[in-house]
């Protein structure tokens, strides 16, 4: 089963490089703190306004840090001139996609947990009841973002103005995921059970399946150099 | 050396925008044979290497390795290839051992720990095996990428200026490694600018000028100055 | 051939115009401003066709690496973005007198706007990559991902809009099924599809000439 | 209900103008391509 081993090798390598260099993690942690303060200054005072806007603000934080994390997916390959090495590795390239996807997911979930924790503390929101449902929505939403994000990161890795092109390509495609997650989060924070947002969850699952399938099938084509 | 050429380039043409960098290149290399590819800057040496390495598609003409077309069956070609390019393909934050382990696993090789250690010893990096590659010199990084290539035991080796930046001791050492690979039956294509001792490895010299192979001759007993004269003669005509 | 298609398209557009402005009845509640529907709806439906053609051509390119398929995708994307852009513009021009605002987050206008931005990204990607072969490959992948995303966009936008406030009665593009409305709409739809085909044909011919000039 | 012919004219006018601009751009590029081809045509 060298496919799984190759995917794991890529994921392990990315996380090892990240653990040692901590470049992306530091940037994301600092970024979420910054986000928190900005929202605190602009919204902190008024409880009602905050409650109404919180889901949007929370997911805005998740999406912006996702863009940062996903945009850097192939940065380590580009900086260390290893891109051609990936291209020339024989065998199915989608193993590399899965490795990169796993690495991205791990990174994004760590940052999201942090952002969620910070928001809960600083905006003193009682997450208690909503948490289990929220975890499901965050996981499905993050998978949707990362699935297409990793594919588009590979496409824009060697392109001029990639920092601009990557969000412009990714965000419109992710509108369904953004709508579903924000609306589901809104309902959950209002105390509704997960079942009440069943249709959004179904849409997220459908989106994740479509995104993963098309990414796995086309990643070879993207990584042809 | 058996007769059937393992690397066969037939009338390859490559156009960037409107500029024909390669204009009908033909070349053959047999197993166990090393060809040094000389040429001025911009003559298309690296472009030809990239085409053989399946990184660029030829605009016209075909190139095959062990019968597999580099454009149509890149996967089959890549399984046979070892490439040491300008970029050393090393992750600075990983140690030498981790780098080798990663590339071996990615290449689908079941390289055990002892095999990795042997490869590192083979290139004289056993002492620095667990040091971060960030601390390595250019020469050490080149030796690490050579160890990576040798782990895969490729049948065809593409080297882009392998001797650049090495001191005399490292050059002599690299020459020995390349001779060993040749003896093991690998075919070598080496792009180089220097006419010195490093050409000792080469069985044939090819000069790329005007988008074509202007000269393809056995090295035989040619000394550095003979090669210099031949090269100068053909590159002037070529320009 | 392309010239014939051009004349045919021009004739049917003219016929559509006559039917939309003359033959079609004056709409009871909205008045004549409703006639904008006869250009707004065909533009959007033709753009959907363009994006489907783009996805199919992209798939053909990925499977057979046939440059002609890539050219069709490129041309179809260009015409599709123009049509959907015009669809949005005419929709908001229609919305102004009907709802009093240039833009409302109406389900149809929203999803059409998302398509516009998504395929604008496609053209941006096409323009950014110099190497033609790589641009074709990446755009083919994006073309397929975007097409698969269209139903997801529609569902999410519709649920987002309709689950809260009931669909507004005078929604532009509402199909009041009487035949006197349907005929002009159908003629105009055929006209815009022919126009789309004509533009794509000419753009593909131009792209082929550009490719041959370089080879 | 006022007829708002102005808006109808605006919608149709905008569509017509845009299509015309695109059509003219295609024609211009085709002419440029013809010139380019004549210039680079190999001397018989």
B13–chain C nearest CA distance, Å: 11
- pLDDT for C170 equals 40
A142-156, A196-210, B128-142, C183-197: which has the minimum mean pLDDT? B128-142
Count CB neighbours of D34 within 10 A.
11
Mean pLDDT of A174-192: 92
Domain boundary among B153, B168, B190: B153
> Where does residue C24 fall: left (phi above 0), alpha (psi -120 to 50 degrees), or beta otherwise?
beta
Domain boundary at B153, B170, B191, which?
B153
**B36-56, pLDDT tens digit by residue?**
998 888 888 989 999 999 988
Q: Which residues of B touch A16 (CB under 8 A)?
A: 93-94, 98
Which residues have CB under 8 Å from A104's CB, separation 6+?
A69, A70, A73, A146, A149, A150
Q: Chain A contacts of C135, Cβ < 8 Å?
A: none
Statement to judge: residues B192 and B149 lie in one domain: no
Q: Which of C67, C131, C137 to mutate to test the interface with B (most CBs of B within 10 A)?
A: C131
The answer to whether A and B touch (≥3 CB pairs < 8 Å) is yes
Least confident of A164-173, B74-83, C117-126: B74-83
* B178 plus B219 within the same structural domain: yes
Length of chain D: 44
Q: What is the pLDDT of residue B238?
A: 41
Given a cut of 50, whether residue A23 has pLDDT beyond it is yes
Chain D closest-CA separation from residue C93 CA (Å)? 6
Q: How many domains does chain B have?
A: 2
**Given this model, what pLDDT does residue B63 score?**
94
Chains touching D (3+ CB pairs < 8 Å): C
> By the CB < 8 Å criterion, does A42 face chain B?
no
Cβ pair A87, B81 in contact under 8 A? no
CATH code at B55? 3.40.50.300
pLDDT in tens, A127-162: 888 889 999 999 999 999 999 999 999 999 988 889
Q: Can you give the pLDDT at residue C107?
A: 87
Q: At what angle do helices C67-99 and C132-162 cross, to 10 degrees?
A: 30
Distance (Å, whole) CA A50 – CA A33: 18
The residue that leads in pLDDT, A6 or D41, is: A6
Domain-located, residue B239 = no
**Structure tokens that stand for A160 in this block:** 């001029």
Q: Which residue of C has its CA nearest to B20?
A: C215
- The CB-side HSE value for A26 (13 A sphere, CA atoms) comes to 6
SS3 of residue B2 by DSSP: coil
Which of B78, B106, B108 is most worth mutating to test chain A (most A CB atoms within 10 A of its CB)?
B106
Q: What is the mean pLDDT of residues A69-76?
A: 90
CATH number at residue C77: 1.20.120
On whether residue B225 sits in a domain, the answer given is yes
**C-alpha C30, offset from chain centre:** 25
Residues B33, B149 within the same domain: no
Taking only the tens place, the pLDDT of each residue in B176-227 is 888 988 898 999 999 987 777 667 788 898 988 888 888 888 887 777 777 7
Per-residue confidence (pLDDT) for residue D43, from 0 to 100: 63
User: Which residues of chain C does A207 touch, with a Cβ-Cβ cutoff of 8 Å?
Assistant: 152
Q: Does C215 touch chain B (CB under 8 A)?
A: yes
Residue range(s) defining the domain that contains residue B16:
5-80+155-234
pLDDT score recorded for residue C175: 54
In a domain, B49, yes or no: yes
Domain count, chain C: 1
Judged by CB atoms closer than 8 Å, whether chains meet at C157 and A165 is answered as no
Is some CB atom of chain C closer than 8 A to the CB atom of B18? yes
Does A90 contact chain B (CB < 8 Å)?
yes
Contacts of A89 in chain B (CB under 8 A): 78, 103, 106-108
CB atoms within 10 A of CB A15: 15
Q: For chain C (length 215 residues), average pLDDT per consecutive 10?
A: 90 89 78 86 96 97 94 97 96 88 88 96 94 92 97 92 55 58 89 96 94 77
B175 and B140 both lie in a single domain: no
> Which of A77-81, A217-221, B225-229, C210-214 bottoms out in mean pLDDT, i.e. has the lowest?
B225-229
Together in a domain, B9 and B127: no
- Kindly tell me if the per-residue pLDDT of A212 is higher than 90: yes
pLDDT at C88: 95
Per-residue pLDDT for A98 more than 80? Answer: yes
Residues of C in contact with A203 (CB under 8 A): 152, 155-156, 159
What is the structure's pLDDT at A191? Answer: 85
Provide the chain D residues 22-41 that lie in CB contact (below 8 A) with chain C: 22-23, 26, 29-30, 33, 36-37, 40
Looking at this predicted complex, what is its ipTM? 0.87
Judgement on whether residues B115 and B72 belong to the same structural domain of the protein: no
Q: Specify the pLDDT at position C144.
A: 97
- The predicted pLDDT at position D1 comes to 57
* A and C interact (at least 3 Cβ pairs within 8 A): yes
Contact A1/B at CB under 8 A: no
Please report how many Cα atoms fall inside a 13 Å half-sphere around the Cα of residue C132, on the Cβ side. 20
Contact (CB<8Å) C215/B17: no
Residue ranges making up the domain that contains C161: 2-166+175-214
Q: Which chains touch B (3 or more CB pairs under 8 A)?
A: A, C
Q: Comparing A37 with A211, which gets the higher pLDDT?
A: A211
Number of CB pairs, chain C paired with chain D, less than 8 A apart: 74
How many angstroms separate the CA atoms of B211 and A159, rounded? 28
pLDDT of residue C151: 95
Q: Do B87 and A86 touch (CB under 8 A)?
A: no
In chain B, what percentage of residues exceed pLDDT 90? 32
Write the residue in D11, D23, D30 that is nearest to C39 by C-beta: D11
Q: Count Cβ–Cβ pairs < 8 Å, chain B vs chain C.
A: 6
């Amino acid at each position: 089963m060298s496919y799984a081993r190759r995917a794991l090798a890529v994921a392990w390598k990315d996380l090892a490089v990240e653990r040692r260099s901590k470049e992306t993690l530091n940037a994301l942690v600092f970024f979420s703190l910054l986000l928190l303060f900005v929202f605190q200054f602009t919204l902190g005072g008024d409880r009602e306004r905050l409650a109404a806007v919180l889901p949007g603000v929370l997911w805005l934080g998740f999406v912006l840090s996702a863009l940062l994390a996903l945009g850097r997916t192939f940065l380590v390959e580009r900086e260390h001139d290893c891109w051609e090495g990936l291209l020339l590795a024989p065998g199915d390239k989608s193993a590399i996609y899965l490795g990169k996807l796993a690495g991205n997911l791990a990174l994004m979930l760590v940052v999201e947990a942090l952002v969620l924790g910070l928001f809960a503390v600083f905006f003193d929101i009682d997450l208690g009841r909503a948490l289990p449902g929220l975890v499901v929505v965050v996981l499905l939403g993050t998978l949707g973002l990362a699935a297409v994000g990793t594919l588009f990161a590979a496409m824009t890795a060697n392109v001029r103005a990639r920092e601009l092109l990557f969000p412009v390509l990714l965000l419109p495609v992710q509108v369904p995921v953004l709508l579903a997650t924000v609306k589901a989060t809104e309902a959950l924070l209002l105390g509704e059970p997960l079942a009440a947002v069943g249709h959004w969850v179904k849409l997220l699952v459908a989106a994740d399946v479509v995104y993963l399938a098309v990414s796995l099938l086309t990643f070879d084509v993207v990584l042809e150099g | 050396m058996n007769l059937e050429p393992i690397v066969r380039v037939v009338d390859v043409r490559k156009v960037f925008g409107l500029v024909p960098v390669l204009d009908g290149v033909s070349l053959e290399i047999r197993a166990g044979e090393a060809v040094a590819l000389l040429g001025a800057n911009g003559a298309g040496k690296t472009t030809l290497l990239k085409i053989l390495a399946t990184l660029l598609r030829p605009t016209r003409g075909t190139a095959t390795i062990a019968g597999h077309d580099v454009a149509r069956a890149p996967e089959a070609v890549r399984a046979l290839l070892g490439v040491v390019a300008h970029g050393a393909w090393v992750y600075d934050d990983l140690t030498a051992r981790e780098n080798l382990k990663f590339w071996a696993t990615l290449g689908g090789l079941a390289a055990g720990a002892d095999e990795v250690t042997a490869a590192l010893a083979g290139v004289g990096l056993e002492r620095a095996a667990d040091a971060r590659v960030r601390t390595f010199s250019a020469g050490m990084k080149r030796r690490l990428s050579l160890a990576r290539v040798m782990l895969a035991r490729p049948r065809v080796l593409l080297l882009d200026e392998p001797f650049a930046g090495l001191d005399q001791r490292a050059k002599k050492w690299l020459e020995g490694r390349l001779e060993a690979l040749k003896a093991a039956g690998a075919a070598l294509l080496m792009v180089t600018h220097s006419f010195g001792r490093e050409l000792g490895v080469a069985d044939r010299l090819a000069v790329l000028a005007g988008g074509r192979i202007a000269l393809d001759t056995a090295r035989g007993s040619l000394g550095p100055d003979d090669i210099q004269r031949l090269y100068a003669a053909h590159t002037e005509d070529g320009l | 051939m392309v010239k014939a298609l051009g004349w045919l398209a021009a004739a049917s557009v003219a016929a559509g115009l006559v039917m939309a402005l003359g033959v079609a009845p004056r709409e009871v509640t909205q008045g004549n401003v409703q006639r904008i529907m006869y250009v707004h709806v065909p533009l959007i439906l033709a753009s959907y066709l363009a994006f489907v053609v783009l996805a199919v051509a992209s798939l053909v390119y990925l499977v057979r690496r046939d440059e002609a398929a890539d050219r069709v995708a490129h041309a179809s994307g260009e015409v599709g973005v123009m049509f959907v852009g015009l669809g949005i513009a005419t929709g908001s021009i229609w919305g102004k007198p009907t709802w009093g605002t240039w833009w409302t987050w109406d389900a149809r206008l929203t999803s059409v706007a998302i398509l516009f931005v998504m395929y604008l990204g496609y053209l941006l990607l096409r323009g950014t990559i110099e190497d033609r072969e790589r641009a074709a490959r990446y755009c083919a992948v994006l073309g397929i991902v975007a097409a698969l995303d269209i139903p997801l966009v529609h569902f999410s936008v519709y649920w987002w809009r309709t689950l809260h406030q009931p669909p507004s009665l005078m929604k532009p593009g509402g199909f009041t099924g009487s035949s006197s409305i349907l005929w002009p709409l159908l003629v105009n739809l055929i006209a815009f599809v022919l126009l789309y085909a004509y533009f794509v044909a000419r753009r593909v011919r131009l792209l082929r000439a550009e490719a041959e000039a370089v080879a | 209900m006022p007829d708002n012919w102005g808006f109808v004219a605006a919608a149709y006018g905008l569509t017509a103008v845009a299509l015309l601009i695109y059509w003219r751009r295609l024609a211009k590029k085709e002419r440029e391509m013809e010139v380019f081809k004549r210039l680079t045509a190999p001397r018989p």
